[in-house]
Amino acid sequence: MLGKEIKFLVGKEIKLELKQKYVINGILLYLVSTIFVTYLAFEDVISVETWNSLFWIILLFVAVNGISKSFAQESPARHLYYYTLASPQSIVLSKILYNLMLMAILSILAFLFFMLLMGNKVITMPLFILALLLGSLGLSSILTMVAAIASRASQNFSLMAILSFPIVLPLLATLMKVSSTALINLEWAGNAGFIVILLTINVAVIMLAYLLFPYLWRD
């Protein structure tokens, strides 16, 4: 039952996105122009540490921008309508799943464009890609939940940033740690612990979203 609902709802999200292409195009342009601005600002002094921090900070801003619309895009009346059709759990899981797909695409694109302008510093590519994917999952689940919270309040864009930045930090700090080792050496060893931390954060956040979202949903 839950699986079927989620499938339909994810399909709905994709259709909605394709109908309003300007939204996704806007995010893509945001991504490209942010990276271009950093490229112009930094030009040639690019140490590995700077490369790493810049990349993840840009990705964080792109994620906040891309996901903040999750609940603000549709009218409250439409949400009421969904409420009569589907369970809140399947709504939040479908949003997380959809945002995961969005973030996976955006982070890969960001990485390719960043690499084009700033040069490739990654030595252990599989580890970096793994960090990108786990990061996409973590960012999408935390930010979906924060977007749901912020959509219940007025003036929600600045709220989205101040609510999410401090709680996204455990994820971001671990991600930067993993990816910095992917930039420095070829070794996988020593990263198992951090991968476990990332997985634990992801599972915990998804469970919290599953349990807490119904309270945000009902008025």
Nearer to other proteins, 14 or 173 (CB): 173
Nearer to other proteins, 34 or 151 (CB): 151
Which residue ranges make up the site for other proteins (CB under 8 A)? 142, 145, 149-150, 152-155, 159, 162-163, 165-167, 169-170, 173-174, 177, 193-194, 197, 201, 204-205, 208, 212, 215-216, 219
The nearest distance, CB 119 to other proteins, in angstroms, is: 26
If you count them, how many residues does the chain have? Answer: 219
Closest CA to 99 of 122, 74, 73, 70: 70
Nearer to other proteins, 118 or 145 (CB): 145
The nearest distance, CB 195 to other proteins, in angstroms, is: 13
The nearest distance, CB 131 to other proteins, in angstroms, is: 13
* Token pair of 58 as six digits: 């840009």
* Token pair of 20 as six digits: 């309003």
* Token pair of 215 as six digits: 């309270």
* Token pair of 26 as six digits: 């806007």
Nearer to other proteins, 136 or 174 (CB): 174
